[in-house]
Structure 1
């Protein structure tokens, strides 16, 4: 259960917007997170948020799984 509790500060941007402050990082450090682990976590999350925002703004929608699988088989044969 300790591991789940230590991840709670990482959820702060999802709950409070996209800002992470010194207090958030300090709380993660208290749970044993190094600066490298924080950076390795924040980077992909920020990229995901940016990509999601672009996708929504551009009006893109994912290809349904059935259609995607069918297209793979059509191109393979």
Structure 2
């Protein structure tokens, strides 16, 4: 895309460390940051937070695999 973490941070008004940590996978995208990124790139306001939600769900599913496998599914009444 040809933009540095520094430039992006300046453009959306957040600390460069926040962008660098997101890129490195060490920080989640908050609603605040997601809104700013969406505005900057002309995307739907839920795009970035949706990606974060999907990522969080996938990680949780992997981490809870054994626990979830042991839970009995109940039939609807």
| TM-score, normalising length: structure 1 | 0.40
- Computing the radius of gyration over CA atoms, which structure comes out larger, 1 or 2? 1
Structure with higher helix content: 1
